[in-house]
Amino acid sequence: MSTRTSPGTARTTLVFALITAAALGLTACSGGEPATAPAGATGARGALPTEDVVAGVKKNEAAAKLLPADVRQRGSLALASSVATPPSSAYLPDGRTVVGVDADFSAAVAKALGLELKREVVGFEAILPALGSGKYDVGTGNFGVTEERRRTIDFVTYINDGQGFAARADSTLKAVTDLTRLCGLKVAVNAGTTFERTLEKNKGRCAQAGKPAYEVNVYSETGAIWMSLQQGRSDVVMNTINGVRYAVTQQKNVKFLNEYRRLDVGFAFKKGTPLAPAFQAAVNGLKADGTYDRILRKWGVTASGIERSRISPPEIPAPEK
pTM of the model: 0.83
Per-residue confidence (pLDDT) for residue 321, from 0 to 100: 60
Scanning the chain, the segments in alpha helix (DSSP H) are: 7-26, 61-64, 69-74, 101-113, 124-133, 147-150, 194-201, 204-208, 222-230, 241-250, 276-289, 291-298
CA–CA distance from 182 to each of 67, 167, 215, 262 (Å)? 47, 11, 9, 19
Measured CA angle at 266 (ends 165, 105), to 5 deg: 100
pLDDT (tens, 9 = 90+) of the chain, 321 residues, equals 333 334 444 444 444 443 443 333 332 222 222 223 333 333 335 689 999 999 999 999 999 999 999 999 999 999 999 998 899 999 999 989 999 999 999 999 999 999 999 999 998 889 999 998 889 999 999 999 999 999 999 999 999 999 999 999 999 999 999 999 999 999 999 988 889 999 999 999 999 999 999 999 999 888 899 999 999 999 999 999 999 999 999 898 999 999 999 999 999 999 999 999 999 999 999 999 999 999 999 999 999 999 999 999 999 998 766
pLDDT in the model for residue 10: 42
The pLDDT value recorded for residue 50 is 92
* Residue 2 DSSP one-character state: E
**160 closest CA partner among 85, 265, 41:** 265
Question: Strand, helix or coil at 240?
Answer: strand
